[in-house]
Amino acid sequence: MTQLPSHVDIREVGPRDGLQIEAPISTAGKIRLLQALVATGVRRIEATAFVSPRAVPAMADAERIAEYVGTVPGVDWSGLVASPNGATRAIGSGLRTIEYVVSAADGHSWANARRSTQDAVDAVAEVARIVHDAGGRLEVIIATAWDCPFDGPTDPQRTAAIATRALELGADQLCFGDTIGTTTPARVWRLLDAVRAALGGRGDGGADPVPLGAHFHNTRGTGIASAFAAVQAGIRQLDASVGGLGGCPFAPGASGNIATEELVYLLDDAGISTGVDLDAVLAAAAVARELVGHPLESNLFRAGGRNRPRPAPAGDR
């Protein structure tokens, strides 16, 4: 483990990962949420996904969302893709930060992308060419990095090998996804040790550093602890979703991401700057709750920050 950093970079994934399993909401509603998220100060936002609208109806307006975010400066807007065709759509829509998903487990890869892990990894080269020819940047997200709902535990060496190959084929950075929310701090450390050994120090700020990120779900209540363990292990980029929204439609049992407001609260209290305003995130979570029409998973959203008084019990009124 390393000394705690002075800053951690949060990527807000609510507009994509947070909404992909929800009933489709209007493009205008999504823009309201995007505006609320920009007001939090977060400077990396995953805006949408360029995937099949039949498979993920909630992302059917990807091009319209990309058109809107192209008018909003000061944010590194990204789009998720699962194929070279998706990358072509994303680049054609004006986005230049592209996330390409590779499932470390074959079971999830077939369910999510209808192809094997090996085929998905091989496609990194074509996706990288499409992105780089447009002057963009490619992040490869390795889903089911710890566990798969179909295949069980993922061997850390398998995830590490995929990470190494993705870089060889043109990825500019990597992110490791706890897709079904099963990992724990000790397993986070073990995987990151394996990855760094395979990368030969590239992920630790060596001569040719590769940014490493992590993406945790809170399905079993260990997501926020795992995120802090990743920070202790040197990760400086974390994903989170406003209100704890989210889940994978192709991973049975996967529930929401770690909540942005809970991550900001934790890191701020540890003296780690995020550049994100907690009160503004809570306001954005209220917008999200209105749009999805159901309670949010976030404990902090329900309880409020430390300085927000709890409602008095009924008997005290």
Q: Which residues are catalytic?
A: 248
d(Cα 227, Cα 167) in Å, to the nearest integer? 23
C-beta atoms surrounding 294 within 10 Å: 9
Helices in 39-92 by DSSP H: which ranges? 62-69, 84-92
d(Cα 35, Cα 234) in Å, to the nearest integer? 31
Q: How far is CA 144 from the centre of its chain?
A: 13
DSSP H/E element including 101: strand 97-103
Q: Return the residue matching tokens 């120090």.
A: 201
Check residue 206 and give left, alpha or beta (phi > 0: left; psi -120 to 50: alpha). Answer: beta
Task: State the virtual CA torsion across 32, 33, 39, 40 in degrees, nearest 10.
Answer: 170
Q: Return the residue matching tokens 């009160």.
A: 279
d(Cα 64, Cα 60) in Å, to the nearest integer? 9
